[in-house]
């Protein structure tokens, strides 16, 4: 039986005010994959009428954070997830609503083993940003760390 990760969307909305402000909706959440939808809001467009680059980045970073919460949420009493770095590539002019898909790029078990060994593990989350037709408009890798709460 698959685990229930519906709590992740609620947790993200409560922990990250930008999620509500931007209108991010989580459409799929599993242990190592999250998809979220970002509506097309005129107030978030750039000079050519598409979603602003910061909004695209924010959608992907939010999806990547939700992957971290889904995988490592039960460690937050002993470690804080933080972005170490991120790199984004804009592939095509985005228009309309977007979907950001994030996938864990490293075994959760390996990350937890490092944390249990007293290390500060890092893990990549690979993100794909698509328009409403399914065309990839951006790709991003967010490298996260679990900083031990000592």
The domain locations on the chain are 6-148
Confidence of residue 1 (pLDDT cuts 50, 70, 90): very low
Contacts of 45 (CB under 8 A, 6+ apart): 51, 52
The CATH fold assigned to 6-148 is Thiol Ester Dehydrase; Chain A (3.10.129)
pLDDT at 109: 97
User: Is residue 83 scored above 80 in pLDDT?
Assistant: yes
Angle of helix 6-15 relative to helix 53-72, nearest 10 degrees, comes to 120
> pTM for this structure?
0.94
């Amino acid at each position: 039986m698959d685990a229930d990760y519906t709590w992740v969307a609620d947790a993200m909305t409560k922990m990250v005010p930008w999620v509500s402000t931007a209108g991010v909706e989580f459409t799929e959440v599993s242990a190592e994959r999250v998809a979220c939808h970002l509506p097309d809001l005129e107030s978030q467009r750039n000079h050519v009428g598409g979603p602003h680059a910061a909004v695209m980045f924010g959608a992907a970073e939010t999806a990547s954070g939700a992957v971290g919460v889904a995988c490592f949420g039960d460690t937050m009493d002993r470690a804080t997830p933080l972005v170490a770095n991120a790199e984004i590539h804009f592939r095509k002019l985005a228009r309309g609503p977007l979907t950001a898909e994030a996938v864990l790029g490293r075994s959760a078990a390996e990350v937890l083993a490092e944390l249990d060994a007293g290390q500060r593990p890092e893990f990549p989350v690979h993100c794909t940003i698509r328009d409403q037709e399914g065309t990839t408009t951006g790709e991003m890798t967010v490298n996260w760390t679990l900083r031990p709460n000592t």
